[in-house]
Amino acid sequence: WPGVLCAAFFGGCTLVGIHEILGPDAPVAKIAVILGGFVMGVACFAFGYAISRPFSETQVSGGWRGDTSMIFVCMFGGLFFTLGSIAAAVKAIIDRRRIKRQQRWY
């Protein structure tokens, strides 16, 4: 279970890396950064959920002292990446509409 979450998180990092390699103007790069951010956010939320389950096989932390702070970090990361991917999607839609409007005027 933790291995799957790590693979999902770093798979999202790979998608964001594709965005960096291709440049911000490539359509595939925009889709990659949106999907990458969303996958990283969902993985962070899943890590927080796994840490919050005491005495279970999905518990990934080492002890009770770090659980509260790690849950906070995971939830903050989940919000950051998920909301960031939504903001990137909205920006891509707005930019596309702006470009279409400019093309009609020429």
Which tens digits make up the pLDDT trace of 28-72? 888 888 898 899 999 999 888 887 766 555 555 555 555 778 888
Burial grade of 33 (CB within 10 A; 0-12, 13-18, 19 or more): buried
pLDDT at 78: 92
Q: What's the whole-number mean pLDDT along residues 74-85?
A: 92
SS3 label, residue 62? coil
Nearest Cα neighbor of 39 from 89, 87, 70, 82 is 82
How many Å separate Cα 72 from the centre of its chain?
Answer: 16
Q: Report pLDDT for 82.
A: 93
> What's the N-to-C CA distance of the chain in angstroms?
54
Q: What is the pLDDT of residue 83?
A: 94
Residue 102: pLDDT band (50, 70, 90) is: confident
Is residue 24's pLDDT more than 60? yes
Q: Is the pTM of this model over 0.85?
A: no
**Residues 7-12, mean pLDDT to the nearest whole number:** 84
The predicted pLDDT at position 47 comes to 85
